[in-house]
Amino acid sequence: MTELKNDRFLRALMREPVDVTPVWMMRQAGRYLPEYRATRSKAGDFMSLCMNPELACEVTLQPLERYPLDAAILFSDILTIPDAMGLGLYFETGEGPRFKKSISTAADIESLSIVDPVKDLGYVIDAVSTIRRELNGRVPLIGFSGSPWTLATYMVEGGSSKDYRKTKAMMYNEPEVFAQLLDVLADSVTAYLNAQIEAGAQAVQIFDSWGGALSADAYQEFSLKPMKKIVSGLIKEREGRRVPSILFTKGGGLWLESMAEAGPDCLGLDWTCDIGDARARVGGQVALQGNMDPSILYAKPERIREEVGRILSRFGQGSGHVFNLGHGITPEVDPEHAGAFINAVHELSESYHR
């Protein structure tokens, strides 16, 4: 076991003392970096890049070569599980992810089986072990998956959707059938994340990208309930230390209390939520991650630094904060602005940890 040279990310997730607030970015290995675009071009297309463990490792490490980030996150896609279930994932230019087959009937759901991550998603598990080896203790590695609700929307709609019409129709008309789909997905996500942990992931995040599209009652039943099942089934300790879990529901600021009660170690916040208010509501139970508006990175570096300072001030003294964006970094961001953001977090946060 290689000793971690920088473990402030893991310590912050456990609300333990740190010297400065740790920072990483959702989609930190992505199209805003010219070196990423070059590697993706070499791979041929996005899925070929995801399915090549060596190239996935290469792009995972690229942002760490540029910036003093406190964590690496596995380069992959949230839709690997439905692809492994035989739905045929592909990407259309300007259209985003699409599936060759979609789920529309009870028979379709009954035909699905729980994914065996080693057998069906071995390229992801190989990427995790490759990245962990190449990191050599530099920073912790984050594994991840999409949430059952979010995965289900893509599977039923056949791709991205603005209103989730087909998914919500199934959810309301056939709730027991829809619950079967969520159960299969919850069991698959649990197995998938545990396989990532066993391969070397030192923390895991569940991306509930579209949970905020649900009503309050529907969120509790169809998004949070399966995520709670996943969290309870995760490996909690490996290599002698806790493996923290992060639950991120975009648009979930209304439900922080029930999210915290689901059992994760940390809640991710989008930018619509005041982090000071969130800390007052649930900071005694969980760490908080976030939550700068990604669009701030289009602003001048001095404005970015000002926003970092504001969020740090709103969180206040002490540990339990992992600085991040409120969603993924966008492709048009100037890499120099991302660097200004990361440096500002480390420089301005030191006074909050004395």
How many whole angstroms separate alpha carbon 60 and alpha carbon 52? 12
Query: What spatial distance separates the first Cα and last Cα of the chain, rounded to whole Å?
Result: 31
Predicted TM-score (pTM) of this structure: 0.97
Per-residue pLDDT at 170: 97
pLDDT at 1 over 80: no
pLDDT at 85 over 80: yes
SS3 content of the chain, % helix, strand, coil (to 5): 55, 15, 35
Residues contributing to the annotated binding site:
27-31, 77, 154, 209, 327
Q: What is the pLDDT of residues 304-351, one digit of tens each?
A: 999 999 999 999 999 999 999 999 999 999 999 999 999 999 999 999
Which residue, among 346, 292, 344, has the nearest Cα to 314 in the 3D structure?
Answer: 292
Percent of the chain scoring above 90 in pLDDT: 95
List active site positions: 27, 31, 40, 77, 154
Q: What are the DSSP calls for 3-39, one per residue?
A: PPS--HHHHHHTT---SS--B--TT-SSTTSHHHHHH
Which residue, among 23, 20, 17, has the nearest Cα to 291 in the 3D structure?
Answer: 23
Q: What is the pLDDT of residues 30-65, one digit of tens each?
A: 999 999 999 999 999 999 999 999 999 999 999 999
How many whole angstroms separate alpha carbon 196 and alpha carbon 208? 18
Residues contributing to the annotated binding site for substrate:
27-31, 77, 154, 209, 327
What value does the mean pLDDT take over residues 90-95? 74
Fold of 33-287: TIM Barrel (3.20.20)
Domain extents for the chain? Answer: 33-287
Question: Could you tell me which residue, 169 or 1, shows the higher pLDDT?
Answer: 169
Which residue, among 247, 150, 239, has the nearest Cα to 197 in the 3D structure?
Answer: 239
